[in-house]
Amino acid sequence: VGPYVLVTPKETRRKQLQQSNIFISFYTCSVAKKELDDLEQWKKEHRPGPVTLVPQRLGGNESEAQVRQNQQMILMQSKYQKKNKREEYVKAKKAAEEAEILKKKAIQREKAERLEVKKRQEEMQRREMLLEDQKYKTNELLNRLDVSLPKSDSCQIANPGPESTAWKRSHAFKQALREDENRRLEEMKQEQQRK
């Protein structure tokens, strides 16, 4: 704490201030009292007189019991109306959800039908190719048998050339089927990933 200087009060100035404070407080009290007295006087002078009303029947033609009964009915009706509104909202929400579910099911059904049609077409193509290959092999076998019929009891060795080409064709056909199957599986996987 730094050094400080204590100043002694002047007695005359202090007494003057105290006297002026006492005078001011006395003056304000007397003014306030006078204003309150004036207010009370004004209230007495301007007091409203007695109210005189012509007696008349209020509340319509219904009795109090009927009015209360009507209020009770209105309250019950409002409760039922709120309940009905809530039920209608729930029904509408359920109907919207069911419609959305039916829409999704229809989309899935269409996709499944398209996939089924595609599978049937591929199966038909495969069968046609198989029948063609079978016919070709049958004709090839018949031609080979006609060419290489044994004329004596000796055994003849068949020409290995056509067999190798038939084996190549069947191998190529099986390879094409495998590639087609792999391609279909890849498409189905991509479709599932998109879903």
**Neighbour-count burial of 110, counting CB atoms closer than 10 A to its CB (0-12 exposed, 13-18 middle, 19+ buried):** exposed
Quote the pLDDT of residue 151: 53
57-71, 80-94, 125-139: the lowest-pLDDT one: 57-71
- pLDDT at residue 161 tops 70: no
- Alpha-carbon gap, residue 174 to 168, rounded angstroms: 10
Q: Which two tokens stand for residue 90?
A: 């729930």
Mean per-residue pLDDT, 50-54: 82
Mean per-residue pLDDT, 13-30: 76
DSSP letter (8 states) at residue 60: T
Q: Which two tokens stand for residue 87?
A: 């039920």
- pLDDT at residue 154 tops 60: no
Quote the pLDDT of residue 4: 74
Would you place residue 58 in the very low, low, confident or very high pLDDT band (cuts 50, 70, 90)? low
Predicted structure pTM score: 0.32
Cα distances (Å, whole numbers) of residue 117 to 42, 44, 103, 109, 110: 104, 105, 21, 12, 10
**Please, what is the average pLDDT of the chain?**
82
- pLDDT at residue 136 tops 80: yes
Residues whose CB falls within 8 Å of the CB of residue 136, separated by 6 or more in sequence, listed in order: 169
- Alpha-carbon gap, residue 34 to 23, rounded angstroms: 16
* pLDDT tens digits for range 173-185: 888 888 888 988 8
User: Which amino acid type is present at position 186?
Assistant: E
* pLDDT tens digits for range 65-92: 888 899 999 998 898 899 999 999 999 9
Quote the pLDDT of residue 48: 83
